[in-house]
Amino acid sequence: MVQGHPPRPRHWTGLLANLGLALASLALSLLAAEAAVRLLSPVSPALLVTDPGVGKRYVPGFRGRVFVDEAGREVEVRINSAGFRGPEWARRKAPGGLRVAVVGDSMTAGIATEEERTFVRRLESALAARWPGRPVEVMNFGVSSASTGAELVTWREAVAAYAPDVVLLAFFTGNDLGDNCSRLTRAPRVYFELDGEGRLVPGRPPAPTPALARWLDLHSRLYVWQKVATRQLRGTTRSAAGGIEPGQKIFARDGGPDVEYAWDLTGALLRGLRDEVEASGAGFGLVVVPCAEQVDDALWTGLRRQAGAGLALDREEPSRRLGEIAARAGIPTLDLTPLFAAAARGPGGSASAETLYLLGRFHLSDEGHRVAADAIERFLTDGAGRGLVAPR
Residue 42 counted as domain residue: no
- Number of Cβ within 10 Å of residue 91's Cβ equals 7
Give the residue-averaged pLDDT of 135-150: 96
Could you report the per-residue pLDDT of 232-281, keeping only the tens digit for each? Answer: 455 545 454 457 899 999 999 998 999 999 999 999 999 999 999 999 99
Does the pLDDT at position 329 exceed 90?
A: yes
Name the residue with higher pLDDT: 286 or 30.
286
Does the pLDDT at position 390 exceed 90?
A: no
How far are the Cα atoms of 38, 253, 268, 269 from residue 326, in angstroms, in the given order?
48, 19, 11, 11
Q: How far apart are CA 264 and CA 261, in angstroms?
A: 5
Global pTM? 0.84
Residue 235 counted as domain residue: no
Q: How far apart are CA 364 and CA 356, in angstroms?
A: 6
Residue 390 counted as domain residue: no
Of the candidates 335, 336, 334, 356, the residue with the CA atom closest to the CA atom of residue 344:
356
User: DSSP strand E in the chain: where?
Assistant: 48-51, 55-58, 63-68, 73-78, 98-104, 136-142, 166-172, 192-194, 200-202, 283-289, 333-335
| Residue 306: domain span | 47-207+245-385
Residue 34 counted as domain residue: no
Count structural domains, the chain: 1
Q: How far apart are CA 111 and CA 228, in angstroms?
A: 16
Residue 285 counted as domain residue: yes
Could you report the per-residue pLDDT of 48-88, keeping only the tens digit for each? Answer: 888 877 888 999 999 999 999 899 999 999 999 999 999 99
Secondary structure (H, E, C), 249-264: HHHECCCCHHHHHHHH
Could you report the per-residue pLDDT of 104-113, keeping only the tens digit for each? Answer: 999 999 999 9
Give the residue-averaged pLDDT of 297-314: 93
Residue 218 counted as domain residue: no
Residue 228 counted as domain residue: no
Q: How far apart are CA 123 and CA 142, in angstroms?
A: 15
Does the pLDDT at position 10 exceed 90?
A: no
- The whole-number pLDDT of residue 206 equals 60
Q: How far apart are CA 305 and CA 189, in angstroms?
A: 30
Residue 7 counted as domain residue: no
Mean pLDDT across the chain: 86
Contact 99, 164 (CB under 8 A): yes
- The whole-number pLDDT of residue 209 equals 59
CATH number at residue 285: 3.40.50.1110
